[in-house]
Amino acid sequence: MTGLPGAALLVLLAYLIGALPFGLIIGRATRGVDLREHGSGSIGATNALRTVGWTGAVLTFLLDFAKGAVAVLLVSWLYKAGPAGSPPWVAAAAGIAAVAGHIRSIFIGFRGGRGVATFAGVMLAVSPWTVAIVVPIFALIVWRTRIVSLGSLIGSALAPVVTAGLALADAATWAAVVLALGAATMVILAHRDNIARLRAGTERRIGK
């Protein structure tokens, strides 16, 4: 596909890939439950962990992660030509669309998850070093606090900062910086209820 019409169709495709509700499918397939009716109501891996257990949560995370990476890589492969310098920006738009699709899925009434795993998959496709730097920080925070949302929020906020540093060092593109900023904003907004609970000291911890 080429030009602006082709780019628009590919960004739409990325949204549809991101909107695939894997957590919902896994919840129904493994335990016969609708994740939207349990816990936080999210269809992401954290709510899957609390609702259907570790196996379902791992599967949900891996599939949500993979769809983010696949959406960007597929669009990058299919977008053949356009204005000079446009491919990285089309890939960035596709990444933002994939995260938006996960958070607001057209397939389940524009509900979804928080977007963290899909965001990580998207960033792996456009800036692997961002993932390599941010994921250990996320893991450390979750390990020390047992609060997944805190790690997710800090990791999401760090992603555009880290990517900008990499861009300054010519290790990432500025399109990747815009992608990280746009996706991080959506992920943080999707955590509004978690932020309120964190401020109140009532946020749920792993194991409780």
Does a structural domain hold residue 206? no
String of b and e for 29-58 (b: at least 16 CB within 10 Å)?
A: ebeebebbebebebbbbbbbbbbbeeebbe
pLDDT given at position 23: 96
Does a structural domain hold residue 208? no
Q: How far is the C-alpha of 144 from the C-alpha of 56, rounded, in Å?
A: 23
Does a structural domain hold residue 205? no
**pLDDT digit string, tens, across residues 46-63:** 999 989 999 999 999 999
Does a structural domain hold residue 91? yes
The total domain count for the chain is 1
Structural domain including 151 reads 3-200
**pLDDT digit string, tens, across residues 154-184:** 999 999 999 999 999 999 999 999 999 999 9
Does a structural domain hold residue 133? yes
For the entire predicted model, the pTM comes to 0.94
- Residue 208's pLDDT band (cuts 50, 70, 90): low
Q: How far is the C-alpha of 22 from the C-alpha of 15, rounded, in Å?
A: 14
Does a structural domain hold residue 154? yes
Residue among 131, 158, 139 at smallest CA distance from 72: 131
Does a structural domain hold residue 63? yes
Does a structural domain hold residue 67? yes
